[in-house]
Amino acid sequence: MQTKADFQKENLFSLILRFSIPAALSLLITAIYNIVDRIFVGNFNGTSALAGLSVCFPLSFMMMAFALTCSAGGASLFSLYAGQGEQEKMNRSFGNALVLVIGSELFLTVILLLCQEPFLKVFGVTQTSYPYAVAYYRIVSLGCLFQGLTQVFCDFVRVSGHPVGGMLVTSVGAFTNIVLDAIFVAGLNLGVEGAGWATVIGQCLSAAFGVCLVFRGKVNVKIRKKIFSLDRDLWPKIVSCGFAFWVAQMAMGFIALIYNGQLGKYGGDAAISVYAVVSSIMTFVIMPASGISQGIQPIVGNNFGAGHYNRVMETLFKGTMLSVGVTCIIWLITLFFPKQILLAFGATDEMLSIGIPGLRINFCITPILGFVMLATTFFQSIGKPIPSILITVLRQIVFLIPLIYLFPLVGGTNGIFWAQPVSDFLALLISVALVVRQKRTLRHKTIS
């Protein structure tokens, strides 16, 4: 297979760039679904409407949690089997991942629609933002399946050696979303309902385009009926390999509602709206790290499966250098131009007073996050989910959640924004220790 030769023989730095840039753009495009909605609603419908969208932000994490568990887990095994030349196992990895994502996203849709009021209450909806949150929630919940399918097709097209094709899967929906937001929100004054329908229609078109790529042979599988039968040995491996992503996404959704609750307590709707901006900008700041993380996944998995352990570690370290370097550029923009960023979201004077120090504090050590994210993907790519899960749980739950409650007791609203950088620094220490340990293990395998 041509992709096997590329992964194992091509210059690593150029290979990382070729896969990371489209992956980063793909993630950026995916993020546009929520960010564009916020920009339009913030400018055309006011602070309470923007707060309503922010309250619903955990929905996107829940959708992606189930999608990434299946797609990332299946794609990781797909890459390992590609390195070993196991075509039938590659076929089944794709088929089982697709069936799992359809089942899990349909289940999530039903739960969300049946439990609307409890979820909104847990999300921290306020009395003024409630009508906007309800309208957006009901519509966006209908897009779970299409978001999941989009992610599966994007990941498998990418690991099949077509990174640009994977990017295009998400691009179709994102550009549709931008156009429809302009029409529905700005043009027809449909408010949050218009933003919700723009998002769902975009997701549908992305999923449809992904289906087209599969049937055009852009995924290295042979489509047969039997590959869609759940394999009792394979599907648990898919779930375990992707479980770190489930933990990460669900934790981010849970943390988003904790942030909403704490910020609402200390600063009201204005503080919640600031968090909508902070979480949106965080997406842009970590996008290069996320893209490089996804970009190295097929390279690491394929070479690990083929036994090229030196190349595996070299991929991780070159990816880390690239990630930290690129992230620093966006990080500096965030530190020096927080007011301009907030004004792009229609910030009021009250939002500016909370948001300018909040942005600077929240992103003060963001470049280190690049290595933490790459370490998580590294372990998942070599079929070792436990270290990935450990890093994720410690960073997103064990460290972060207590800090969100403790720090504002001393620092008020600014204390809430300090929780993330402190948690990231502690996760960095854990990640370095685990990677050094794994490096020693691979070195012994190479010598033997």
- The dihedral built from the CA positions of residue 239, 118, 282 and 367, taken in this order, carries a sign that is negative
The confidence score (pLDDT) of residue 93 equals 92
The pLDDT score that the predictor gives to residue 31 is 66
Contacts of 98 (CB under 8 A, 6+ apart): 70, 74, 149, 152, 228
Domain count, the chain: 1
DSSP letter at 394? I
Question: What angle separates helix 57-84 from helix 87-114, to the nearest 10 degrees?
Answer: 170
Residue 32 has pLDDT above 70, yes or no: no
Rounded to whole angstroms, the Cα distance separating 338 from 440 reads: 43
Summarize the confidence of residues 88-98 as an average pLDDT: 92
Buried b (16+ CB within 10 A) or exposed e, 137-147: bebbbbbbbbb
Nearest to 242 by CA among 110, 377, 146: 377
At 217, is the pLDDT very low, low, confident or very high (cuts 50, 70, 90)? Answer: confident
**Per-residue pLDDT for 82 more than 90?**
no
Q: How far apart are CA 410 and CA 404, in angstroms?
A: 11
What is the pLDDT at residue 256? 74
Confidence of residue 34 (pLDDT cuts 50, 70, 90): low
Given pLDDT bands bounded at 50, 70 and 90, which one contains residue 428? very high
Cα gap 353→339, rounded to integer Å: 9
In this predicted model, what pLDDT tens digit does every residue of 305-337 receive, in sequence order?
A: 878 888 889 999 999 988 888 888 878 888 888
> What domain range is 256 assigned to?
2-447
HSE-CB for 125 with a 13 A CA cutoff:
24
CA-angle at 77, arms to 324 and 87, nearest 5°: 130
Q: How far apart are CA 280 and CA 273, in angstroms?
A: 11
For the chain, give the percent of residues with pLDDT over 70: 96
Mean pLDDT of all residues belonging to the chain: 85
Q: What is the mean pLDDT of residues 243-254?
A: 76
Split at pLDDT 50, 70, 90, the class of 1 is very low
Looking at residues 389-400, what average pLDDT do you find?
A: 88
DSSP string, 205-236: HHHHHHHHHHHTT-SS----GGGGSPPTTHHH
Q: So what's the pLDDT on residue 159?
A: 84
pTM value > 0.85: no
Residue type, 446: T
Residue 190 has pLDDT above 50, yes or no: yes
> Confidence class of residue 91 from pLDDT cuts 50, 70 and 90?
very high
Tell me: pLDDT of 47 over 60: yes
pLDDT at residue 5, rounded to an integer: 39
What pLDDT sits at residue 6? 63
pLDDT at position 3? 43
Q: For residues 48 and 266, give the distance between their C-alpha atoms in angstroms, rounded to a whole number.
A: 16
Q: What is the pLDDT of residues 134-169, one digit of tens each?
A: 899 999 999 999 999 999 999 899 888 888 888 899
**CA separation for the pair 408, 395 (Å, rounded):** 19
Helices (H) and strands (E) counted in the chain, each on its own, are 18, 0
Range name among 86-100, 101-115, 139-153, 229-243 with the lowest pLDDT average: 229-243
